[in-house]
C-alpha cells in the first residue's frame, strides 16, 4: 500500500496526500479547545510515553477543534509541514481523528515506553472521514469466563483504536453471575462460582475439575463505564432473563420452578428458568433498577433468548399466572414477561435491548433487537418497525472457527474467515429505504465458552475484529484485496499494542487446544437449523 494516508484500518472514506509532512518532536505543542480537554489529556498520555513528545499546551503544532458543520462522529485531519489541524463534529469525532493520527505514526509509537527513534514524521495530506453506522459494537461474554477489570479496560482501548463505539457486556448466564444486586448477596457468593468448567464442545463431556468465577463490584462497573465513556464508547449491560438463569436459581431456588442445584458447569441451554411469580418478578425489577443506577445509557439488555418453557408446564406458579392473565399456554409467558420488564424500564426512562427471540409474540414498543439467528431476523425486525442491531452468527460470531485447520483451538460453529467477516453488511437485502434506516449498525459477538483468558479472546477477535470495524465504518462496497494489502502494517500495530492475534498464515503450534476438542459445523447445516429456530417469527407481528 503506497499511500500512507489510506494504509489505515478502517480505511478512511476520503484522503488526499500532499508533499512533505509534519515533524513531531518533544517541543511540539498541543492547542485544544476547552471542550476537548479530555481528548487532549488522553492524546498526551497515549503519545508521550513512546515518543517522548508530551505535547505541552501552546499555539501551533497540533490543533484540536469542534466544528458544528461536521456530523457528530465525522472528522477532518489536515497535516502540513508547519502543523496538524484536527476538527470533529464533537469530541467523539475529534477522538476518531486522533486515532487516525496514531495510525499514521510508526507502530513503535503505540508502545508504552520509548524505543530508539524519532523525531517522528506524520505524512502530509487531508483526511475527511465519517462512519456509515451509528452502532459499531462488540459483545463480550464475561459470564462463561470471568474477565478481570484490567482486561476489560484493555479491550475497551482496542475497540476505541478501531473506531468501534459500543461494548455490550453479557453479565450473567447459566454458568455464572457477575454483578452485585442489593438485597441478594447469594448471587455473588453462590451464583458467581461454578465447581468445574467444561473443556471443549459439550458433546465430549470433558471437565477440568477446577472452580471458576468472580464478579464485579459496583465500583468496578462504574470504572468500566467511565473509562469507556472517556473513549466515547457506550456500555450496554445485559442480564439475561427469564432464561439462562440457572446461576441465579442456584443461589435462590425460590426464583425457579422447583429445581435446586449448582451453577451450571456444562455449556448449552439450561431448562432451569425463572418462574413468573411475584418474588421472581420483583427480583428482576431489582436487578434492572440496579443496572439503571450503574449504567447511564438508554438501553438495558434483558436477553430474552433460548428460554425453554418446559418447567412452566407443571409449575403451579406458572399455571396460575397463565390463568390470571389469560394466556394460551406456557409458550406465551415469555412475551408477557418481556412486556412487564419493558414497562418497568420505561418508568426509569430506559428501553429494552433484547435478542431476536423477543420478536415472537410481539416485541415491546421501543425495543431494540439484537438479530443473531442468521440473516433473517434483522429483516423481520426492521419490517416490524423495530430498531435493530445486526449480529448474525453466520457472519460475526467471533467464537466460531477461523479455518478448517485442525490446529484451530476448540473449533466450533461454522467457518468464519477474515474475508467472510470483511464482507458482512448489517443491512439485509430486500429492505425499503425506511426499513434499512432502522438498522442501527452491526455488532461482533465474543462468546467465551472456549476463551478462558484475554489471550484467547485476542486470538479469536483479531484480526477479524479489524475486518469487522471496516465493515461497520466504511461504505457498503469494500475490496478485500485492498484490506489484505493494508493488514500487514496493521498487524505491526497490534504487535506494538501487545495483541495475541491469529496469524494470517494460520494457528501456531501453541495455539491449539488438544485437551479441549471442538465441534465444527458446516454453513448449510447451520442454515437448516436456523430455519427451524426462527419458525417462531412466522407468527410474530410484522
Active-site positions read 173, 244, 306
> Angle, nearest 10°, between helix axes 333-347 and 316-325?
70
Nearest to 266 by CA among 188, 178, 196: 196
Q: Which residues contact 212 (CB under 8 A, 6 or more apart)?
A: 145, 146, 176, 193, 194, 196, 197
Give the CA distances from residue 96 to residues 274, 326, 363, in Å, rounded to whole numbers and listed in that order: 43, 52, 35
Distance CA 64, CA 33 (A): 6
User: Residue 59: phi, psi to the nearest 5?
Assistant: -75, 160
C-alpha cell of residue 358: 423477543
Could you tell me how far CA 437 lies from the centroid of its own chain? 21
Nearest to 232 by CA among 63, 93, 103: 93
Q: Which residues contact 450 (CB under 8 A, 6 or more apart)?
A: 200, 399, 409, 410, 412, 456, 513, 516, 518
Distance CA 48, CA 56 (A): 10
Q: Which residues contact 519 (CB under 8 A, 6 or more apart)?
A: 200, 201, 202, 203, 204, 411, 412
Please report which residue ranges of 207-352 form alpha helices under DSSP H.
Answer: 218-230, 246-251, 278-294, 316-325, 333-347
Determine which helix (DSSP H) or strand (DSSP E) holds 352, and give its type and residue range. Answer: strand 351-355
Amino acid at each position: 500500500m503506497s499511500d500512507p494516508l489510506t494504509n489505515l484500518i478502517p480505511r478512511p472514506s476520503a484522503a488526499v496526500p500532499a508533499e512533505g509532512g509534519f515533524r513531531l518532536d518533544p517541543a511540539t505543542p498541543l492547542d485544544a479547545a476547552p471542550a476537548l480537554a479530555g481528548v487532549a489529556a488522553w492524546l498526551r498520555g497515549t503519545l508521550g510515553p513512546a515518543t517522548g513528545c508530551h505535547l505541552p499546551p501552546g499555539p501551533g503544532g497540533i490543533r484540536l477543534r469542534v466544528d458544528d458543520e461536521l456530523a457528530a462522529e465525522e472528522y477532518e485531519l489536515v497535516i502540513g509541514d508547519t502543523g496538524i489541524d484536527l476538527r470533529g463534529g464533537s469530541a467523539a469525532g475529534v477522538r476518531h481523528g486522533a486515532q487516525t493520527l496514531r495510525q499514521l505514526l510508526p507502530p513503535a509509537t503505540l508502545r508504552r515506553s520509548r524505543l530508539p527513534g524519532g523525531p517522528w514524521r506524520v505524512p502530509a495530506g487531508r483526511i475527511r472521514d465519517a462512519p456509515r453506522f451509528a452502532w459499531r459494537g462488540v459483545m463480550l461474554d464475561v459470564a462463561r469466563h470471568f474477565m478481570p477489570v484490567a482486561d476489560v479496560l484493555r479491550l475497551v482501548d482496542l475497540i476505541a483504536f478501531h473506531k468501534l463505539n459500543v461494548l455490550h457486556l453479557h453479565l450473567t448466564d447459566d454458568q455464572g453471575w457477575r454483578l452485585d444486586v442489593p438485597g441478594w448477596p447469594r448471587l455473588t457468593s453462590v451464583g458467581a462460582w461454578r465447581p468445574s468448567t467444561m473443556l471443549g464442545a459439550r458433546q465430549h463431556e470433558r471437565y477440568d475439575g477446577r472452580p471458576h468465577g468472580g464478579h464485579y463490584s459496583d465500583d468496578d462497573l462504574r470504572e468500566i463505564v467511565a473509562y469507556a465513556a472517556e473513549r466515547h464508547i457506550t456500555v450496554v449491560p445485559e442480564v439475561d432473563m427469564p432464561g439462562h438463569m440457572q446461576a441465579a436459581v442456584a443461589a435462590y431456588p425460590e426464583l425457579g420452578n422447583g429445581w435446586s442445584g449448582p451453577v451450571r458447569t456444562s455449556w448449552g441451554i439450561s431448562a432451569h428458568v425463572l418462574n413468573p411469580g411475584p418474588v421472581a418478578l420483583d427480583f428482576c425489577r431489582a436487578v434492572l433498577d440496579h443496572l439503571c443506577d450503574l449504567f447511564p445509557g438508554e438501553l438495558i439488555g434483558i436477553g430474552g433468548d433460548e428460554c425453554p418453557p418446559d418447567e412452566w408446564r407443571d409449575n403451579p406458579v406458572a399455571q396460575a399466572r397463565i390463568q390470571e392473565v389469560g394466556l394460551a399456554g406456557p409458550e406465551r409467558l415469555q412475551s408477557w414477561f418481556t412486556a412487564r420488564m419493558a414497562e418497568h424500564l420505561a418508568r426509569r426512562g430506559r428501553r429494552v435491548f433484547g435478542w431476536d427471540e423477543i420478536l415472537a409474540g410481539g416485541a415491546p414498543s421501543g425495543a431494540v433487537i439484537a438479530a443473531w439467528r442468521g440473516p433473517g431476523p434483522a429483516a423481520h425486525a426492521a419490517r416490524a418497525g423495530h430498531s435493530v442491531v445486526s449480529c448474525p452468527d453466520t457472519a460475526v460470531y467471533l467464537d466460531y472457527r477461523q479455518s478448517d485447520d485442525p490446529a484451530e483451538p476448540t473449533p466450533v460453529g461454522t467457518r468464519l474467515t477474515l474475508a467472510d467477516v470483511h464482507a458482512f453488511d448489517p443491512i439485509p437485502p430486500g429492505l425499503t429505504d425506511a426499513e434499512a434506516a432502522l438498522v442501527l449498525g452491526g455488532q461482533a459477538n465474543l462468546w467465551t465458552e472456549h476463551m478462558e483468558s484475554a489471550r484467547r479472546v485476542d486470538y479469536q477477535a483479531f484480526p477479524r475484529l479489524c475486518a469487522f470495524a471496516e465493515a461497520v465504518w466504511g461504505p457498503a462496497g469494500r475490496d478485500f484485496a485492498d484490506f489484505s494489502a493494508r493488514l500487514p502494517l496493521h498487524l505491526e500495530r497490534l504487535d506494538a499494542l501487545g495483541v495475541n492475534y491469529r496469524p494470517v498464515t494460520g494457528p501456531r503450534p501453541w495455539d491449539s487446544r488438544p485437551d479441549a476438542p471442538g465441534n465444527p459445523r458446516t454453513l448449510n447445516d447451520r442454515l437448516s437449523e436456523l430455519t427451524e429456530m426462527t419458525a417462531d417469527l412466522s407468527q410474530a407481528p410484522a
